[in-house]
Amino acid sequence: MSAPSRNDVPPTSIGVDLREEGIVIEYLDGRTTLYRGVPDAVEGSVTAGPGKETHVLVTDPTETEGVMTYVNDYNTDDDILEDSGVGRVIVEDGERDEVFPGVIVGRTGQRNEVIADPEIAGGRVFVFVEDGWTEGSFEIVDAPEDGLDAHR
């Protein structure tokens, strides 16, 4: 029996609560999760190591709602994503995709990359990188020096 194929799934607006201890996400199905710690501020992009899950959250200007997309997630069923409001994008090696205005995701080898311009995105851009042992939280606070167009 082969594994089910995974498709792109569009995200839906979900609840966001920025707290001192981290970022709480409230999914459409009522579940919540906490991404621990204050995200590290980075400029331009975040590149995840091989085998790391990559989640991208873009808040609205009020910072109480946002959209979240998993990058190259092959484990979560489409129905679970749709019920939770989380989206998914699959990008192949060497490809890039603008998943939200001002937010581009790409893949090089086994590494996911998120490139963003928060001004174009219209909110804050967070990237969560994790595996079974570690988790990292980042906020892209400025556009890449060479501009977003250089990465499209």
Amino acid at 117: D
pLDDT given at position 2? 45
Domain assignment of residue 149, yes or no: no
Domain assignment of residue 7, yes or no: no
CA dist 115 → 29, 99, 136, 142 (Å): 29, 10, 16, 10
Domain assignment of residue 99, yes or no: yes
pLDDT given at position 152? 85
Domain assignment of residue 43, yes or no: yes
pLDDT given at position 6? 76
Domain assignment of residue 150, yes or no: no
What count of other Cβ atoms lies within 10 Å of the Cβ of residue 68?
A: 24
Domain assignment of residue 8, yes or no: no
pLDDT given at position 67? 98
Helix (H, G, I), strand (E, B) or coil at 150: helix
Helix (H, G, I), strand (E, B) or coil at 40: strand
Q: Tell me the whole-structure pTM to 2 decimals.
A: 0.94
Domain limits for position 27: 13-142
For the chain, which residues score pLDDT lower than 70?
1-5
Which residues, 6+ apart, have CB-to-CB distance to 138 below 8 Å? Answer: 39, 40, 41, 42, 46, 126, 127, 128, 129
Q: Please state whether 147 falls in left (phi above 0), alpha (psi between -120 and 50) or beta.
A: left
Question: pLDDT (tens digit, 9 = 90+) per residue, 104-143?
Answer: 999 999 999 999 999 999 999 999 999 989 999 999 999 9
CATH number at residue 129: 2.60.40
Average pLDDT in the chain: 94
Helix (H, G, I), strand (E, B) or coil at 139: strand
